[in-house]
Structures are given as C-alpha cells and as structure tokens.
C-alpha cells in the first residue's frame, strides 16, 4: 500500500517495522465538549485505514488517546462549578456514543493523559538530563528547541520562519520564544501532580510522546491526525520523542484535510459550528460517516445540509442493492445455474478495483465508486428475471457487505418494529386481494402510501421500500 507521508512529502510504499503488523497512533480529542463535524473526519478516515489494513490481513494495534487534562477542561470545570475529572469523564462518554454512532471501532487502547503521568515524567526527566529541556523558576519545564537540529522537519519550515511567529506569553519563563512547555507548574486551585520540579501538570504535546512509547514502542509505523496538528503539536512530539529516545519516532505521518461549512471555515464566531450530535439527531449518524469516506482524506470537504441529504440518498441506493439481494436469496433455488461462474468473476473484478483505489494512499473516493459500480452490476446480473441461485446471491451479498464494511458503511439496522408493522399491512393487503375485498385492499394501500412505502409486485411476492 502507498501512503502519502507528510514527513517526506511523497507517496511511499508502506513497510511496517514488524512484518504483518501495524502500530498506529492517532491523536484523540480533548474532552471538554461534544465533538464537532471537523473532529468526525480523522476518527472516521483513520478507522477506515485500520479496517483496510485488517482486510489485507495486517494485525493492527491502534492507540488513540484522550486528553483529559488541559486549560480548556479546567476552564469548563470552573464554568460548570465542577472538577476536571467529572468534565473529562462526561465528555469521554459522549465521545463514545458518537464514535459508536459513526461505526468507529474502539481503539485497541484509549489511554488518558492523567493515567500516564509516570511515563510523562520519565521522558521530561530524560530530556532535562540530556540538556534538551530546562526547568524555570515558576515550576514550568520547557523544551530547548534550538538544541534540536531537526526541529521543523515535519512542517518543512526553517527555524527562522518559525521564530518570527513565536512570542513569549505573559507568565512564561522561556529562554527562547520557540521553546514549549513539557510540564506546567501548578497555579493555585488547579489539579496537580508531584514532580522533581514541584507540583504541576503535563503540557499537551508530551502526553502523546509518552503514550505512543508506552503502548506502541519507541518507533511506531503510522502517526495520524488532522492537518491542523502538524505544527506545532506533531512537530513537538517528534522533537520530544526523538531527542529522548534517540531513534525515529514514526515512519509515516498521515494528515487529513479540513472541513468547511457552506464553503466557509467552521468557527464558533461565524455561527457555523455543528456538533456531530446535532447533525446525527437530524439526519442519523451514517450520512456523516458516508460524507467522510466519500472524499479522499487529504482533500477538503464541504459540509452543508444539501450535501448531507445527498449522502443519505446515496446510502439509500447501496441499502437497496443489499435488500434486493436479501429478498432474492430468500426465494432462490439451490444448485448453481449455468453461467454463474462468469458472473462471479465479473463481480470479483470490482473488488480488484476497490483494492487498487485503497492501495493508492487510501483513496476512499474511488473505492466508493467501485462499490457503486458493483451495486449496479449486481442489480443487472441478479434480479427477478435472471433468478440467480442461492449460492450466487450469497456470494454477491458477502462480497458487497465485505467491501462496504471496509469503509465502515451499511451498519444501520432498519427499525424492526416499524418494519414488522409494514409487513403485517402488506400481508393484510394480499389477503384482502385474495378475498376480492377491494375496498380493504385500497384502504391498506393508502395507509402504506402515507408511510412512504413503495410496493413492487414481483413473481416472488410483494417487495417494499421506503421512498427516498
């Protein structure tokens, strides 16, 4: 598989440290609020990366942290007259609801910053010992950026350019504006932990270096996150990890592109800020997931209500294909029919196209079009007229489901109680027609119509679907 590596700015063949395995670290959310539409993108696309590698038989260890101590969390706790633990626990639970809704599988490990303080302190101490970091009088410990000759290699920015944008904020005691805090001395009333430099708490960047090393080792295969994290977060992670461990931190760096809202940058001040929960309540979760995989992960995505409606309609076409197959299968005869081997070969070809797209830097956009092409082929080759065998239906269902599953799609169950009611109405209508009770049959037909149910009479009985 080829991966575009932000570090080298090239597409490179993916070669893991341990053959047949992939150690992946993804930066997770800071848990002080519901996740927004922009947060949904990395969690969906890197879930697809994991699913695809597993589909290829790779054993994936996927670590995604929760930043559960941070200025924003402390601020939120003060606003809510609560404490940081209550706030972070609440929003981890809310995150888990959204992630499940988006069909994002839980990571192999979801470590939390506050549960890794010892690992964090061990890295900070090592950096101080090696002269890459220094404690200041206020209890902060800073990374000495100028000592790291490779600093800037991920963001491809020369140190001088970075220098011109850097400032020392009030209260900081840095030697140099580019230095960044590894450890922050505690202010009165803030949560704190003991350290060799007095009471304090970890800076943001250090937690990822610590958790990646603890759960995945000193050198990992892929580090991923949103492109807004390249600088300074990921640049700083590299500096900390490589200066401490003396080996390369991550071989591949993958970054997803931005999401715009109605072609504008999403921001609270523009009033175009949407949480995943808000959108899911109106449209369901799956159209959001569909939107995220419908574009290549590095290209920008535009979110609007029209776009999400289109996603929902497109999903409906995929669901129809699967439901048609399930219906055919129920009534199909066993035993293979002549020519079915050729159809199987044709269908398998779409899997090859799907794989080809995914091998090219996880091109989910092209993979998704292969899935639609497959659906079209299935609809042409397997229908009431061609009356395929049970074996061919099962083959098509498995293939279609497996490829959709790599993208994490087609996971929403029909609401069964509503389904059962509709099926009972259809049975009652069939009975009424048999008994030539036309008035009753028409009454039921109108009731089904009011529920947007579209009926189709086939040689195998009545099929139904909800109109788009």
Give yes or no for residue 27 binding Zn ion (CB under 5 A). Answer: yes
CB 262 within 8 A of CB 304: yes
Q: What is the DSSP letter of 145?
A: G
In the bound complex, what is the minimum distance in angstroms from residue 346's beta carbon to Zn ion? 45
Distance CA 241, CA 209 (A): 6
Q: Helix crossing, 84-101 with 276-283: angle to 10°? A: 40
Handedness of CA 152, 156, 157, 158 (dihedral sign): positive
Nearer to Zn ion, 140 or 235 (CB): 235
Give yes or no for residue 1 binding Zn ion (CB under 5 A). Answer: no
Nearer to Zn ion, 27 or 392 (CB): 27
Q: Which two tokens stand for residue 422?
A: 């509709």
Nearer to Zn ion, 209 or 324 (CB): 209
Nearer to Zn ion, 29 or 139 (CB): 29
**Whose CA is closest to 222, among 113, 87, 64?**
64
In the bound complex, what is the minimum distance in angstroms from residue 208's beta carbon to Zn ion? 3
Of 114-122, 137-145, 200-208, 388-396, the segment contacting Zn ion by CB under 5 A is 200-208
Give yes or no for residue 259 binding Zn ion (CB under 5 A). Answer: no
Nearer to Zn ion, 60 or 230 (CB): 230
The three-state secondary structure class of 285 is coil
Site size for Zn ion (CB under 5 A)? 2
CB 180 within 8 A of CB 166: no
The three-state secondary structure class of 390 is helix
Nearer to Zn ion, 27 or 301 (CB): 27
Nearer to Zn ion, 103 or 250 (CB): 250
In the bound complex, what is the minimum distance in angstroms from residue 306's beta carbon to Zn ion? 34
In the bound complex, what is the minimum distance in angstroms from residue 293's beta carbon to Zn ion? 23
In the bound complex, what is the minimum distance in angstroms from residue 444's beta carbon to Zn ion? 58
In the bound complex, what is the minimum distance in angstroms from residue 80's beta carbon to Zn ion? 25
Distance CA 157, CA 254 (A): 18
In the bound complex, what is the minimum distance in angstroms from residue 234's beta carbon to Zn ion? 7
Handedness of CA 305, 311, 312, 317 (dihedral sign): positive
CB 242 within 8 A of CB 248: yes
In the bound complex, what is the minimum distance in angstroms from residue 233's beta carbon to Zn ion? 6
Give yes or no for residue 208 binding Zn ion (CB under 5 A). Answer: yes
Write down the H helix ranges in 217-304.
235-245, 276-283, 286-294
Of 207-215, 324-332, 348-356, 452-460, the segment contacting Zn ion by CB under 5 A is 207-215
Give yes or no for residue 3 binding Zn ion (CB under 5 A). Answer: no
Give yes or no for residue 107 binding Zn ion (CB under 5 A). Answer: no
In the bound complex, what is the minimum distance in angstroms from residue 11's beta carbon to Zn ion? 24
CB 394 within 8 A of CB 77: no
Of 104-112, 208-216, 280-288, 389-397, the segment contacting Zn ion by CB under 5 A is 208-216
295 C-beta neighbours (distance < 10 Å), count = 20
CA 130 distance to own-chain centroid? 38
378 C-beta neighbours (distance < 10 Å), count = 26
Q: Which residues bind Zn ion (CB under 5 A)?
A: 27, 208
């Amino acid at each position: 598989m080829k991966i575009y590596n932000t570090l080298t700015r090239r597409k490179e063949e993916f070669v893991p440290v341990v053959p047949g395995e992939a150690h992946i670290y993804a930066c997770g959310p800071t848990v002080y609020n519901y996740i927004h539409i922009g947060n949904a993108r990395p969690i969906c696309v890197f879930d697809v990366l994991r699913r695809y590698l597993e589909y290829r038989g790779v054993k994936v260890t996927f670590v995604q942290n929760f930043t559960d101590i941070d200025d924003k969390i402390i601020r939120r706790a003060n606003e809510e007259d609560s404490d940081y633990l209550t706030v972070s626990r609440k929003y981890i639970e809310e995150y888990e609801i959204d992630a499940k809704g988006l069909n994002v599988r839980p990571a192999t490990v979801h470590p939390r910053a506050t549960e890794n303080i010892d690992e964090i302190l061990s890295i900070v101490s090592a950096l101080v010992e090696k002269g890459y970091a220094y404690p200041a009088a206020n209890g902060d410990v800073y990374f000495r950026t100028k000592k790291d000759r490779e600093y800037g290699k991920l963001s491809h920015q020369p140190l001088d350019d970075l220098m011109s944008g850097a400032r020392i904020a009030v209260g900081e005691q840095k030697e140099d504006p580019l230095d960044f805090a590894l450890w922050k001395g505690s202010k009165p009333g803030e949560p704190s932990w003991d350290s060799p430099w007095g009471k304090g708490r970890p800076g943001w960047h250090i937690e990822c270096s610590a958790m990646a090393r603890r759960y995945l080792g000193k050198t990992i295969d892929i580090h991923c996150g949103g492109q807004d994290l390249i600088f300074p977060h990921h640049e700083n992670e590299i500096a900390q990890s490589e200066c401490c461990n003396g080996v390369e931190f991550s071989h591949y760096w993958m970054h997803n592109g931005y999401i715009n809202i109605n072609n504008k940058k999403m921001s609270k001040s523009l009033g175009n800020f949407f949480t995943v929960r808000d959108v899911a309540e109106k449209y369901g979760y799956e159209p959001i997931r569909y939107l995220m995989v419908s574009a290549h992960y590095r290209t920008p995505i535009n979110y609007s209500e029209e776009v999400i409606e289109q996603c929902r309609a497109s999903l409906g076409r995929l669901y129809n294909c699967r439901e048609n197959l399930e219906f055919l299968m129920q009534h199909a005869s066993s035993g293979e029919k002549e020519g079915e081997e050729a159809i199987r070969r044709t269908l398998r070809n779409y899997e090859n196209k799907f794989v080809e797209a995914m091998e090219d830097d996880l091109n989910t956009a092209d993979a998704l079009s292969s899935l639609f092409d497959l659906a079209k082929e299935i609809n042409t080759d397997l229908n009431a007229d061609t009356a395929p065998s049970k074996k061919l239906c099962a083959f098509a269902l498995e293939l279609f489901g497996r490829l959709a599953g790599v993208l994490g799609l087609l996971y929403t169950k029909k609401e069964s109680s509503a389904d059962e009611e509709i099926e009972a109405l259809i049975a009652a209508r069939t009975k009424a027609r048999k008994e030539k009770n036309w008035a009753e049959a028409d009454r039921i037909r109108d009731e089904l119509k009011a529920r947007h149910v579209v009926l189709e009479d086939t040689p195998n009985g009545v099929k139904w679907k909800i109109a788009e």
